[in-house]
């Protein structure tokens, strides 16, 4: 069984060990937490290609000691040509292929914005050093993970309208075997171009023009002009306070509001211990209350029906908690939101802390892999609606609902916690489990990540909306949940991918760093 890892010099956690090691190595060379995260972000876009890509989006929370966290929104906007009329003849936006690739990719711009935030911290490492691990991995070849092999086999039947997919991920229309080597020479060349020309080249240089031209040629509404006009934004993080802790997350268009609300509502219930009926029932019912607010409010931040801060006050959280019956489950489901991603965390020797998330939405995104650059483009835009009356109606330039949301916590005793997970609807729920177990009920950090998890609703690769439970829960507790009205679906796995790939780091006031990785992932904690 995994145990909490300790260090006093710096630490990195990620869902793939090579990305975590890439970040750790930057810390060893004197790089800061942001630089380490950029190196790891490029690496994981290479070694975990079914989960994320530089053709996707990202979000950051950056903590500098003594200061409020800085949030970065690196999510793309719908292309100028992406109108409802553009999709005439379609009842909904196609989920794969060129028509699914309707938004700009923001993640690389987010890397640059984060490096801008870190620039005043002192001497920086060259971009070529930060991208070197990804270049080497793409050139020499990655080892295909079990999850990549399995998901390729499961999803390849959807990809016949996705140019470049089979050449990149399933040559001869055969899924790769776990443990085999996959090279990405075009992607390596793209990283080399970025190392030479700078990250802005992705949007306003030769690379941006090549990307935009190919997207247009293949039938995507995204053009070079869309890329040239894109900027990642520094935004004000959302926050709420529970039990002597300020917890932070991203504002809309992310579901960070839901992540904060779940914990805030649950705190109002007065649960005194973890793992029993009151704990699980309380968090599940808090999730229902938070998701209903999220679904009627979270959208493009320029189009919000009201301020999300209205739902983070103690008074409002208490009102929502009053809707919860301590013994009986509220009927469910409501509509669910899919999505998958990667989350990573980093703390450097100066206490600077990063919580970071990067995604292409569904596994393999649009499935379209650009032949000129080797970039797999996201399908995040399919969360927009062709119904003009919808809260998420498609409009040119629109930001769209994101499941992505990295989290940070500042404890009154001086501890700083970076935590998060992948997994669509599961992200706010897993965050609530990890934080509450550690931050509210004093479980050791690794135990809080390893402990049995549940999922209400749908996550990546799954369409059911039941309350799913890993097999390690006490059968008597499972029966108690069923008797209270929960639609329980026991899973066969003790550690299920369905529950996401979580991680957490904690910086203590004495300078000691604690780290925990998820046994459900291919990752690790890498410490100096």
Neighbouring-strand partners of residue 59: 73, 357
Written as one string, the DSSP assignment of 6-59 is EESS-EEEESBHHHHHHHHHHHHTT--HHHHHHHHHHHHHHHSTTT--TBSEEE
Contact 415, 392 (CB under 8 A): no
Helix (H) or strand (E) holding 353: strand 353-361
Task: Examine the residue annotation and report whether 341 is marked as an active-site residue of this protein.
Answer: yes
Q: Are strands 524-527 and 11-14 parallel, antiparallel or unpaired?
A: antiparallel
Residue 69 phi, psi (nearest 5): -60, 145
Residue 477 phi, psi (nearest 5): -65, -40
Print burial letters for 275-299: b (CB count within 10 Å at least 16), e (below 16).
eebbbbbbbbbbbbbbbbbbbebbb
SS3 content of the chain, % helix, strand, coil (to 5): 40, 20, 40
Cα–Cα dist 398/79, whole Å: 8
Residue 80: burial class (beta carbons within 10 Å; 0-12, 13-18, 19+)? middle
Residue 441: burial class (beta carbons within 10 Å; 0-12, 13-18, 19+)? middle
Helix (H) or strand (E) holding 119: none
Here the tokens at position 505 are: 């780091």
Q: Which residues contact 423 (CB under 8 A, 6 or more apart)?
A: 339, 340, 341, 430, 455, 459, 460, 498, 499, 500, 501
Would you give the DSSP letter of residue 378? P
Helix axis angle, 277-297 relative to 256-268, nearest 10°? 140
Q: Are strands 488-490 and 467-469 parallel, antiparallel or unpaired?
A: parallel
Nearest to 182 by CA among 152, 147, 150, 138: 138
| Residue of 341, 353, 430, 450 marked catalytic | 341
Decide: helix, strand or coil at residue 483.
Answer: helix
Cα–Cα dist 252/430, whole Å: 19
Decide: helix, strand or coil at residue 114.
Answer: helix
Decide: helix, strand or coil at residue 116.
Answer: helix
Residue 157: burial class (beta carbons within 10 Å; 0-12, 13-18, 19+)? exposed
Here the tokens at position 517 are: 């990785």
Nearest to 191 by CA among 144, 113, 133: 133
Residues labelled catalytic: 341
């Amino acid at each position: 069984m995994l145990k909490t890892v300790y260090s006093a010099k710096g630490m990195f956690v990620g869902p793939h060990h090579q990305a975590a090691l890439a970040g750790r190595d930057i810390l060893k060379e004197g790089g800061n937490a942001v630089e380490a995260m950029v190196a790891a972000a490029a690496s994981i876009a290479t070694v975990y290609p079914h989960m994320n890509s530089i053709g996707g989006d990202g979000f950051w929370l950056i903590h500098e000691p003594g200061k409020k966290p800085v949030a970065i929104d690196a999510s793309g906007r719908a292309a100028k040509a992406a109108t409802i009329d553009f999709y005439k003849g379609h009842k909904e936006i196609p989920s794969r292929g060129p028509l699914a690739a309707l938004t700009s990719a923001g993640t690389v711009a987010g890397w640059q914005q984060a490096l801008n935030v870190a620039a005043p911290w002192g001497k920086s490492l060259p971009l070529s050093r930060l991208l070197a691990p990804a270049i080497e991995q793409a050139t020499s070849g990655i080892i295909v993970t079990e999850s990549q092999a399995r998901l390729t086999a499961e999803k390849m039947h959807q990809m016949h309208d996705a140019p470049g997919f089979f050449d990149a991920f399933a040559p001869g229309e055969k899924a790769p075997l776990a443990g085999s080597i996959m090279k990405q020479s075009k992607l390596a060349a793209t990283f080399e171009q970025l190392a030479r020309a700078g990250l802005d080249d992705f949007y306003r240089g030769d690379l941006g023009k090549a990307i935009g031209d190919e997207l247009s040629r293949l039938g995507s509404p995204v053009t070079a002009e869309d890329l040239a006009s894109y900027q990642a934004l520094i935004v004000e993080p959302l926050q709420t306070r529970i039990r002597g802790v300020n917890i932070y997350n991203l504002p809309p268009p992310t579901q960070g509001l839901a992540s904060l609300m779940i914990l805030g509502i649950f705190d109002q219930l007065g649960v005194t211990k973890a793992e029993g009926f009151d704990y699980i029932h309380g968090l599940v019912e808090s999730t229902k209350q938070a998701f209903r607010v999220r679904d009627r409010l979270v959208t493009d931040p320029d189009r919000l029906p009201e301020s999300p801060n209205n739902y983070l006050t103690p008074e409002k959280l208490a009102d929502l908690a009053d809707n919860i019956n301590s013994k009986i489950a509220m009927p469910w489901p409501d509509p669910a939101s899919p999505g998958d991603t990667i989350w990573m965390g980093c703390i450097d020797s100066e206490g600077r802390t990063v919580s970071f998330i990067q995604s292409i939405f569904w596994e393999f995104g649009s499935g379209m892999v650009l032949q000129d650059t080797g970039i797999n483009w996201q399908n995040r835009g399919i969360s927009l609606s062709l119904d003009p009356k919808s809260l998420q109606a498609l409009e040119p330039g629109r930001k769209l609902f994101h499941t992505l949301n990295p989290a940070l916590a500042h404890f009154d005793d001086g501890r700083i916690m970076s935590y998060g997970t992948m997994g669509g609807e599961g992200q706010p729920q897993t965050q609530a489990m990890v934080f509450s177990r550690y931050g509210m009920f004093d479980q050791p950090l690794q135990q809080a990540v390893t402990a049995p998890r549940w999922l209400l609703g749908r996550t990546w690769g799954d369409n059911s909306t039941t309350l799913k439970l890993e097999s390690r829960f006490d059968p008597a507790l499972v029966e108690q949940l069923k008797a209270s009205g929960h639609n329980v679906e026991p899973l066969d796995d003790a550690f299920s991918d369905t529950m996401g790939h979580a991680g957490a780091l904690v910086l203590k006031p004495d300078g000691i760093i604690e780290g925990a990785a998820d046994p459900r992932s291919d990752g690790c904690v890498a410490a100096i």
